[in-house]
């Protein structure tokens, strides 16, 4: 009950602070304190957003971007989880792969855009590759850390209860690391969006990054901002959904 009340309180304060920010923004733009050309008021952004939805198939572009993000994310996660677990639980594999992973991890994704275009052209492969590049190498290290951080006592307890070592992955490691793993996946899904926009700005004829970049060319600032806001809304909604699922699934952490 108290947890519910405090959750409601948090949502209320959050909504109030957002409303206040929008109000101040609207007022500053209308009063001429800031130039509407560069910082259009929220009302103009909302109008532009609605026009983009009805006339410029904004939702189609948002759908395309979301699909790209999820395709790359699932590919990266599908590879990072097993490889990360191997790196975290088999010492020699961890020692062998860590230097490579660390090297690639520090390469800024934008620096690899030209190379990616040379390799894959400007089609979907380039976007998926760039997103995968930006998330896989980060995620694989996070996963291997998650495995290593599982308290060794859990493994020892399982061993003295007769669990053979080959069952320890499903008996102990996976359930013990799952809450942090889901958190890390949620965070890396956010990175995917960052890299997606870079990829779509450079080489795309669809998607939110393309929409934003096209609007910029004609200095349609409200449309640029409407595109940005769309990404923010998708990100916020996804994040909250995953968080809610996390609380539900892992309610044993704070019953």
Looking at the Cβ atoms of 68 and 155, the one nearer to another protein is 155
Least distance from C-beta 1 to another protein, angstroms?
15
Q: Which stretch binds another protein (CB under 8 A): 18-26, 89-97, 121-129, 162-170?
A: 162-170
**Beta carbons of 232 and 85 less than 8 angstroms apart:** no
Among residues 3, 5, 111, 161, which is the contact residue for another protein, using CB under 8 A?
Answer: 161
Q: Please report the DSSP string for the chain in residue order.
A: -HHHHHHHHHHHHHHHHHHHHHHHHHHHHHTTSS-TTTS--HHHHHHHHHHHHHHS-HHHHHHHHHHHHHHHHHHHHHHHHHHHHHHHHSHHHHHHHHHHHHHHHTS-GGGGHHHHHHHHTTSHHHHHHHHHHHHHHHHHHHHHHHHHTS-HHHHHHHHHTT--GGGHIIIIIHHHHHHHHHHHHHHHHHHHHHHHHHHHHHS-SSSHHHHHHHHHHTT-HHHHHHHHHHHHHHHHHHHHHHHHHHHHHTGGG--
Among residues 159, 182, 234, 242, which is the contact residue for another protein, using CB under 8 A?
Answer: 159
Looking at the Cβ atoms of 63 and 179, the one nearer to another protein is 179
3 binds another protein, rule: CB under 8 A:
no
Least distance from C-beta 213 to another protein, angstroms?
46
Scanning residues 99 to 158, which ones bind another protein (CB under 8 A)? 151, 153-154, 156-158
166 binds another protein, rule: CB under 8 A:
no
Among residues 38, 106, 166, 252, which is the contact residue for another protein, using CB under 8 A?
Answer: 252
Judged by CB under 8 A, the number of residues near another protein is 22
Q: Which stretch binds another protein (CB under 8 A): 34-42, 128-136, 160-168, 211-219?
A: 160-168
The neighbour count for residue 171, using CB atoms within 10 Å, is 17
Scanning residues 168 to 227, which ones bind another protein (CB under 8 A)? 171-172, 175-176, 178
Looking at the Cβ atoms of 153 and 205, the one nearer to another protein is 153
Residues forming contacts to another protein in the complex (CB under 8 A) are: 151, 153-154, 156-164, 171-172, 175-176, 178, 251-255
């Amino acid at each position: 009950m108290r947890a519910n009340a405090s959750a409601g309180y948090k949502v209320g304060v959050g909504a109030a602070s957002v409303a206040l920010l929008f109000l101040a923004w609207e007022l500053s733009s209308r009063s001429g304190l800031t130039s509407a050309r560069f910082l259009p008021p929220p009302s103009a952004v909302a109008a532009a957003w609605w026009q983009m939805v009805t006339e410029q198939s904004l939702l189609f572009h948002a759908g395309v971007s979301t699909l790209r993000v999820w395709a790359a994310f699932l590919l990266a996660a599908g590879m990072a989880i097993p490889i990360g677990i191997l790196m975290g639980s088999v010492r020699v594999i961890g020692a062998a792969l860590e230097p490579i992973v660390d090297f690639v991890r520090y390469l800024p994704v934008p620096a690899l855009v030209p190379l990616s275009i040379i390799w894959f052209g400007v089609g979907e492969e380039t976007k998926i590759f760039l997103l995968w590049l930006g998330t896989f190498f980060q995620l694989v290290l996070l996963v291997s850390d998650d495995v290593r951080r599982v308290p060794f006592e859990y493994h020892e307890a399982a061993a003295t209860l007769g669990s053979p070592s080959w069952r320890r992955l499903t008996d102990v490691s996976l359930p013990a690391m799952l809450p942090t793993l889901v958190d890390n996946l949620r965070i890396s899904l956010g990175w995917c969006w960052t890299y997606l926009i870079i990829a779509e700005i450079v080489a795309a004829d669809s998607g939110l990054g393309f929409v934003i970049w096209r609007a910029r060319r004609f200095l349609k600032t409200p449309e640029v901002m409407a595109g940005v806001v769309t990404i923010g809304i998708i990100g916020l909604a996804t994040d909250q959904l995953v968080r809610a699922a996390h609380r539900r699934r892992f309610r044993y952490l704070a019953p």
